[in-house]
A and B are shown apart, each in its own frame.
Chain A
């Protein structure tokens, strides 16, 4: 896995914008409510039907779009020099 994201379930308000921008379609609504009563977004590591492992690239588009700053993005260090500057210019 090249990257992963962590979504703070209590900060998320379930607006679904991250789901819309994810190029790998790896984010979905959670089945459980959070304390505020929203269905928060959650990170999907495996495809529901095929149980195949999905490849998050750590592009950070979801975190850039997230209105509640609920997403933290992690990426493997090897890829750092080539993809980091291109994909996430907002984080230095």
Chain B
């Protein structure tokens, strides 16, 4: 029998520290597969965030440069400007890219930096214990909104991808999910396209990925992927937000 599915080369054989059912490791695998397929492993530099994926350098077998909280877009910009031959991607969670890093991200997109951002949206601050994030949906229970997020008090969920779609320098923005094999395959295509936009030197590309966080949502892994499809997708509908490529 022939092996038809195995661990990609750009993903080290280190057991993930993520919780059971976490979407991060699926996205790690997809990014690694795309890097392998495009044959850019030797010239790719990743910029992990502060958050659960802060240890991503333990898993990706490519060069990584850690960024201060939220500043991955700025660090990736620096890498790409100094060495335009490299492929720079940032890997950020919603607490990183949509809260503390909003300014850097919007300006990087508006300048049309040739970088690729992987935006993992799980609607909660995962690593610090499940506090409300800007992307937390209305009514969602977190440790800082025990009665559910009330928009009049806590504000409305932030749709960063739509904001970046308005920025003139962004070329490709898509929102997908990792809640089922169908969506995972779509996500991989989106990540591949985002990297291609960078390789063709067109401008800023971002893929937002709705990802389950069973631990902080207080759900089982199976319940959490259902919650992504039934609840989260109504607030953050998966679609191509901008594609001028």
Contacts and interface: CB of A to CB of B under 8 A. Distances in A.
B144 interface: no
B2 A69 contact: no
Contacts of A74: 1-4
Interface string A66-91: 11110111111100100010001111
Given A73-B4, A80-B2, A68 B25 contact: yes
Given A38-B20, A64-B185, A72-B6, A90 B1 contact: no
Q: Is the interface of B mostly helix, strand, loop or mixed?
A: mixed
Interface residues of B, number: 33
A4 B26 CA distance: 21
Contacts of A58: 4
Interface of B: 1-7, 11, 15-16, 18-26, 29-30, 33, 37, 180-181, 184-185, 188, 214, 220-222, 225
A27 interface: no
Q: State the 3 A-B residue pairs at the shortest beta-carbon distance, nearest first.
A: A73-B5, A15-B21, A13-B20
A15 B221 contact: yes
Given A13-B19, A15-B20, 20 more contacts: A3-B1, A14-B20, A16-B21, A17-B221, A17-B225, A21-B181, A64-B185, A65-B181, A69-B11, A69-B16, A69-B25, A73-B5, A73-B6, A74-B3, A75-B4, A80-B2, A90-B5, A90-B185, A90-B188, A92-B37
